[in-house]
Chains A and B, each alone.
Chain A
Amino acid sequence: MMRFLLLFSRQGKLRLQKWFTPIPEREKKKIVRDMTTMVLARKPRSCNFLHWKDLKIVYKRYASLYFCCGLDAEENELIALEMLHRYVELLDKYFGNVCELDIIFNFEKAYFILDEFLLGGEIQETSKQVVSRAIEASDMLQEVRCCPVGTDLRSVFPSS
């Protein structure tokens, strides 16, 4: 089972965090700190796996962002690497050539995508199509039910 997934920048700024097991806030902060220092200290082209306490840490750098996850000791590191990659593909498909700024400004969308892909630290859906269909459908739901800010105003002040 995946315990957590972190996205952080080269400067160590956290961009996304997902904890699949409930962990106290202080502990979370400590883990984030450890992960960023540990992963950022790695030289380029060194291997993507680390051991940390009783967890396996798998990380990969995509452009300026590090994707880093913590796994139970008996998990398969390579499949985790593929999971990270699949998540990046999903983001890429959704945002269209995703960059760090997309994730910063639409961080809730990044979470929604993740929630369709993983659940409780396990893979929920392996098919890219199914995931993006689910995301599109929920987004549609959001558009229909909620009025964008601009339209609201015009209906309130029809005279102006």
Chain B
Amino acid sequence: MALKIVKGSIDRMFDKNLQDLVRGIRNHKEDEAKYISTCIDEIKQELKQDNIAVKANAVCKLTYLQMLGYDVSWAAFNIVEVMSSSKFTYKRIGYLAASQCFHESTDVIMLTTNQIRKDLSSPNQYDTGVALTGLSCFVTPDLARDLANDIMTLMSHTKPYIRKKAVLIMYKVFLKYPESLRPAFPRLKEKLEDPDPGVQSAAVNVICELARRNPKNYLSLAPLFFKLMTSSTNNWVLIKIIKLFGALTPLEPRLGKKLIEPLTNLIHSTSAMSLLYECVNTVIAVLISLSSGMPNHSASIQVSLRSIQHYLGLLAMSKILKTHPKSVQSHKDLILQCLDDKDESIRLRALDLLYGMVSKKNLMEIVKKLMLHVDKAEGTTYRDELLTKIIDICSQSNYQYITNFEWYISILVELTRLEGTRHGHLIASQMLDVAIRVKAIRAFAVAQMATLLDNAHLLTGNTQRNGICEVLYAAAWICGEFSEHLEDPLSTLEAMLRPKVATLPGHIQAVYVQNAAKLFATVLRGQEGAPADRTVAQETSQLLIDRLPLFVQSANLEVQERASCILQLVKYIQKLQQKDVEVAEEVTALFAGELNPVAPKAQKKVPVPEGLDLDAWINEPPSESESEDEGRKPKGKAVFAKEESKHTKPRYTEVDEKELAKRREVRKAEQANNPFYIKASPSSQKVYQDGVGVEHIPVVQIDLSVPLKVPGMPMSDQYVKLEEERRQKDKADKKKKDKKKRREKGEKGRRRKGDSGPESEEDITPAHMVDITTEEMPENALPSDDDEKDPNDPHKKSSKHKKKKQKKEKEEKEKKKKKKHHHHHHHSDGAGDESVQNGNVEEEEPLPVSNQSSSIYSMCDIQGNLQDGSQVVVSVIFENKCDSFIKAMEFNVLDSLNSKLQRPEGAGPHDGLTVPFQLPPGISNEARFVFSVQSIVMPQKLKGTLTFIVKTDDSSTHEKLDFKLHFTCTSYLITTPCYSDAYAKLLESGDLKGSSLKLEGVSQPFHHLLARICFHHHFSVVERIGSCASMYSRSIQGHHVCLLVKTADQTVSIDAKCDEPGLLGNVLDEIKLTFSQC
């Protein structure tokens, strides 16, 4: 026996321990696998020994190897052996190895049940702890069932160390053995109020996880959690609770209303980003569930969003965007900035947001920015993403936001210059869609497409490398179909028949051939009028006859068939021409007929004629053997229904002529005028096309490495400018009209000022009258309900107009209201608490307007600067409410002894500060001014003036505005959270002087009252017990202000303490004022 021990010890001395193994692996970088295999052999030897220390060492090494990716499942039994060692050192290693290596299908787990039970009841808490930790990783349903009771007992263990582990592991047990939940739950709930904060937070964690899986069952716990939320100071726990509420509110909207307030308080008071983010997320969830919309709160969210890390902020914004699009739109610039971010994931999020933010007004601007990014972007995936987004943004809700289609076409043309994009077909389908549906744009589109065709070599530079040549498909078709708009059809025809076309994919060639024929018809018609020029027509025929054989040889059947058909036709025409027969009319007749877009729902609306039973067999049912035919029919129908909404495919690609004919017969009566319902989808696959003769034709390849700007192509940028000018002009015209009207009306009433506030959506008139969605419907279409849902349905126009009118009226009312409001403030000159719109606004004081013609509206926000005890930042929002341009604004304040406006160095004490921007009509902007304040004990009013130049078309006038800035004492206070123990110490210290205040007739609920004080006077609630609450705030110069607020029968008494009695008195006066105003 002794010998055995000796032997074991000697072995141990020469054994590798873990450190040796790691070092060895690091030294054998070249032949790591070989080295490790020898190590594994050694380990196998070690495991065979009886000495537990050796075994534990071996198991420890195995755990390391397992991490490196080696299979150690063969040692599972040895691990169990080490686990069952009585020594903590080995047990610890054994459980670690087990937690790393065991999984549900490890069969030795069955053997561990008793060992684990023994360890759980061990007198040593660390034995129990290790067992619990290990169990959490490899608990199986069997283990959970067998050990559930033991763990439940541990939840009431005397040591908090064990209790918290037991509580946490219960969650795993519940998952594996759900029956245990019911008996264990009361005890778990008890743990929510455990004296140990660790156990408490563990219980919160578990219940939150459970509640997230099945929120309904945990609604009853809401009050308990609400209490925890208001009392807890542990951010980790708070986050969990708030998350839980986020899951509960959709089920109980009343809860949401209750939550908003504490959450907004937290948002304003917390410095922890993670908590802030959680609050914001939950507030969003609440707002969504309330859905009634609480603009004030979403405004306060925005403020906090700005500070959150970009990515998460953008994520949260996209959530808000779904419910409150307006509130996100104001952050357009911020989001556009995110497009410059280095991080691709941030850029992609920002793109998603942009989609929801466009309006008629900003579309061009946004797209212009995006186009810049397209040029800069590295990496095709991101560029492709940009491209699809641009198209998505422009085409969303039926081109709702596009006011100028010429601009859009030129954007599309610009996009074709992208190299290596996969989205050629997307651009192509957009071109087709716009050209077909917007009649007014056709002439322009055709001209653009003709240049595109002429410069086709730029797009196909390195043959077939990309999908951009799909664009040519659209270009050729548009040029052919609307060839009457072409200026020079002959040269386009020539461009379409260049030998290089044969390198394009088959389906594009087919379109080329077909449309060449259309162009031919146009050319003939053009020439027929001038008989002297007969030769041109004949030359054109000759051109076709010369070039078409190239296509006749194409390997693509479609191309071949069309080409040979047309070739014969042209030959026949040529013969006629030689006999001086007028052929133009007959050739044109081949392609006569206007193409109309078909509404997506048109097919559904075709009424079934009386006496037609669609389910009845037309012919005798086919026999079983004809199953193939049977299969085809329903398939054909499916294609039919799906494809009709797309206007992208021309009728000429129709392959299944026979079937079409069959069907057409059936429906002839209803839709003889809609022959292009069925379009075969263009096959995007490339077709093998080494035609026999192709190689012999000399192809002059112009290789331009730098894509040239296609001559004569207008840049989309020009459109942006043009559009702006146009809008400007429109507005000017309108103004003139307005003026006229006004003059007619006589100068009875007061002149309205701020006539054209911010340019509203309705003001923008489209550049040319475009008829979008004049989609054709079957003549006797059935009306149906889903039609009403389509916002762009032309039939709804009348109601839309009505709405517009209502809206305008409303706006006007609001404007008037604002004006009143304005004056109210002017007179009362008090803190404008009613108009506080966003959490940070301390005071909003419209500047009194000196005369009626002037037109600036401004509000300001005074805030202390925490970093510097003597600085106050005043942000002023200037809004131009007149229709003239305002520039050269100068802001000046008469300094008092106490407060001085900080001016740049070198400026005199009476010089004004220039406001660093100009204001176009209807625009508002914010400027910040820093004031240095010496004493913050007294409130102050500063007089100031704002001078500016109003520039109208023909003259400019200098104007002046006087205003007062009101620095209240509360603007020097900064919301600072304070814990109750610190608060108690502060009060005990005796440095503070007291004062009190009584308010009577306050009828609002106590929590509203507290919220008001928190919100308007920058306090935070320290503790609230019943109808009594303690509050705290700090001034920028570090004065502590403590309040004790009590309420009883409409009487509120506030006992206050502060180390600066003067400040306190003023703050109390301001609080009084706040409540007297409500």
Enumerate chain A interface residues (CB-CB to B < 8 A). 1, 14-17, 19-20, 22-25, 29, 43, 45-47, 49-50, 74, 76-79, 81-82, 104-105, 107-108, 111-112, 115, 119-120, 122-127, 130, 134, 137-138, 141-142, 145-146, 149, 152-153, 156
Contacts and interface: CB of A to CB of B under 8 A. Distances in A.
A14 B164 CA distance: 30
B442 to A, nearest CB: 44
Contacts of B310: 47
A14 B67 contact: yes
B169 A145 contact: no
B19 A105 contact: yes
Nearest to A78: B274
Given A79-B274, A119-B165, A24 B103 contact: yes
22 contacts: A20-B137, A29-B69, A45-B342, A47-B343, A47-B346, A50-B345, A76-B281, A79-B236, A104-B22, A107-B18, A108-B96, A112-B92, A115-B96, A119-B168, A120-B137, A124-B168, A125-B198, A126-B234, A134-B161, A137-B126, A146-B53, A146-B90
B177 to A, nearest CB: 14
Nearest to A33: B69
A46 B92 CA distance: 39
B532 interface: no
Contacts, number: 156
B13 interface: yes
A120 B172 contact: yes
B201 A19 contact: no
B130 to A, nearest CB: 8
A127 B164 CA distance: 13
B202 A108 contact: no
Interface in B122-136: 124, 126, 129-130, 132-133, 136
Given A46-B342, A108-B18, A138-B126, A120 B6 contact: no
Given A79-B236, A120-B169, A153-B13, 18 more contacts: A16-B67, A45-B342, A45-B343, A77-B277, A78-B278, A78-B309, A78-B312, A112-B92, A115-B133, A122-B171, A123-B236, A124-B168, A127-B198, A134-B126, A134-B129, A138-B92, A149-B12, A156-B5
Interface of B: 5-6, 9, 12-13, 17-19, 22, 53, 60, 63-64, 67-69, 71, 73, 87-90, 92-93, 96, 99-100, 102-105, 124, 126, 129-130, 132-133, 136-138, 161, 164-165, 168-169, 171-172, 197-198, 201-202, 205-206, 209, 212, 234, 236-237, 239, 243, 247, 273-274, 277-278, 281, 309-312, 342-346
A45 B310 CA distance: 12
Nearest to A134: B161
A22 B168 contact: no
A124 B13 contact: no
Given A78-B274, A104-B22, A122-B168, A14 B68 contact: yes
A76 B60 contact: no
B164 A125 contact: yes
Given A76-B239, A78-B312, A122 B206 contact: yes
A105 B67 contact: no
Nearest to A114: B133
Contacts of A14: 67-69
A22 B137 contact: yes
A121 to B, nearest CB: 8
Contacts of A19: 137
Contacts of B73: 25
Q: Which 8 A-B pairs have the closest CB atoms?
A: A78-B274, A46-B343, A146-B89, A120-B136, A79-B274, A47-B311, A115-B133, A122-B205
Contacts of B89: 141-142, 145-146
Contacts of B96: 108, 111-112, 115
B192 to A, nearest CB: 15
Contact of A107 (B64, B87, B164, B343): B64
B133 A145 contact: no
B67 A49 contact: no
Given A14-B68, A108-B93, A22 B343 contact: no
A152 B132 CA distance: 31
B1006 to A, nearest CB: 31
B274 A81 contact: yes
Given A119-B133, A142-B88, A142-B92, A23 B103 contact: yes
B274 A46 contact: no
Contacts of A107: 18, 63-64, 67
Contacts of A124: 164-165, 168, 198, 202
Contacts of A22: 102-104, 137-138
B342 A43 contact: yes
Contact of B345 (A16, A47, A119, A153): A47
B343 A76 contact: no
B205 A123 contact: yes
A111 B67 CA distance: 12
Given A47-B346, A105-B19, A130 B198 contact: yes
Given A14-B67, A125-B164, A152 B9 contact: yes
A57 B55 CA distance: 37
Given A23-B103, A119-B165, A146 B126 contact: no
A152 B12 contact: yes
B87 A146 contact: yes
Contact of B6 (A20, A43, A134, A156): A156
A17 B345 contact: no
A108 B60 contact: yes
A25 B243 CA distance: 32
B850 to A, nearest CB: 49
The residue among A79, A119, A134 with the most chain B CB atoms within 10 A of its own CB is A119
A155 B73 CA distance: 37
A120 B100 CA distance: 13
Nearest to B281: A76
A132 B851 CA distance: 71
A122 B133 CA distance: 12
A76 B164 contact: no
B274 to A, nearest CB: 3
A111 B66 CA distance: 14
A82 B274 contact: yes
Most buried by B among A17, A45, A115, A146: A115
A143 B763 CA distance: 82
A153 B6 CA distance: 9
Nearest to B166: A119
A72 to B, nearest CB: 9
A14 B99 CA distance: 17
Contacts of A45: 342-343
Given A22-B103, A108-B96, A142-B92, A74 B212 contact: yes
A82 B136 CA distance: 23
Nearest to B90: A146
B136 A119 contact: yes
A49 B312 contact: yes
A34 to B, nearest CB: 14
Contacts of B168: 119-120, 122, 124
Contacts of B165: 119, 124
Nearest to B26: A104
B634 to A, nearest CB: 36
A142 B85 CA distance: 13
A17 B342 contact: no
A50 B430 CA distance: 33
Contacts of B343: 43, 45-47
Contact of B209 (A15, A16, A122): A122
Nearest to B310: A47
A40 B978 CA distance: 42
Nearest to A120: B136
A79 B239 contact: yes
Contacts of A145: 87-89
A16 B205 CA distance: 25
A151 to B, nearest CB: 11
A24 B93 CA distance: 22
A9 to B, nearest CB: 12
B764 to A, nearest CB: 37
A126 B169 CA distance: 17
